[in-house]
Amino acid sequence: MVDPVSAAKMDKAILSDGTDTFRRRGPLVSETRATAPVFPPGRYGRRRDGRRRLAGPIIFAAVIAVAAVALSFRLYSQYGDPDYDAQIVRWTDVTPTQVTLDFTVQVPPGGAAICGLRARDYAGATVGTRTVTVQAVGDERTIKASEIVPTTAQAFVGDVLNCRAAS
């Protein structure tokens, strides 16, 4: 006969029925071995030694950094010379064939600048461009200029795209 106290202590999930009181499965926790697995030689390729190789990523980052610095210098020389800073003051006399742009340019004392002007329509499309050369009087640093930009359609706004040193 089955002892009711010992049967109550048994885990019913591992027993086949209520009358089965004999444990055949062994311990409930399996043993985990701490040794590394052994692989057949030559079957899975070269084994890594566990150290991370940082030479490749460091070289890649250095190349990217040098390229970014080179690109920055190129774009700065092309667009960012602070000696030649243009500001649009206003645009007037807007007709279907032209717009007059009033602008100022900061230049080195007595310098000259070549400026790109643009007229755009209401949708933002370019309807006229012009490149002009402006010259400072004496040792002045600020040039005030007013130039007409011919257009192919009614302009809505005028822009000074850039100014650079006159060559």
3-state DSSP percent of the chain in helix, strand and coil, to 5:
20, 30, 45
Residue 64 lies in a domain: no
Paired tokens of 71: 């690109």
Residue 148 lies in a domain: yes
Residue 7 lies in a domain: no
Distance CA 86, CA 76 (A): 15
Residue 68 lies in a domain: no
One-character DSSP codes across 38-84: ---TTTS-PPP-S----HHHHHHHHHHHHHHHHHHHHHHHHH--TTS
Neighbouring C-alpha atoms within 13 Å toward the C-beta of 104 = 6
pLDDT at 160: 92
Distance CA 48, CA 61 (A): 24
Tell me, what CATH number does 95's domain have?
2.60.40.3230
Read off the pLDDT of residues 100-155 as tens digits, 9 standing for 90 and up.
Answer: 999 999 988 888 899 999 999 999 999 999 999 999 888 888 999 999 999 999 99
Average pLDDT over residues 8-35: 59
pLDDT at 99: 94
Q: How many domains are contained in the chain? A: 1
Residue 77 lies in a domain: no
**How many CB atoms neighbour CB 95 within 10 A?**
10
Distance CA 87, CA 134 (A): 14
Read off the pLDDT of residues 74-91 as tens digits, 9 standing for 90 and up.
Answer: 888 777 667 788 899 998
Residue 57 lies in a domain: no
The domain of 111 spans: 85-165
Q: Torsion angle of alpha carbons 101, 103, 107, 113, nearest 10°?
A: 0
The percentage of residues in the chain with a pLDDT greater than 70, rounded to a whole number, is 76
More confident residue, 32 or 73: 73
Residue 89 lies in a domain: yes
Residue 18 lies in a domain: no
Kindly state the DSSP code that residue 12 receives in the 8-state scheme: G
pTM: 0.53
pLDDT at 33: 65
pLDDT at 27: 56
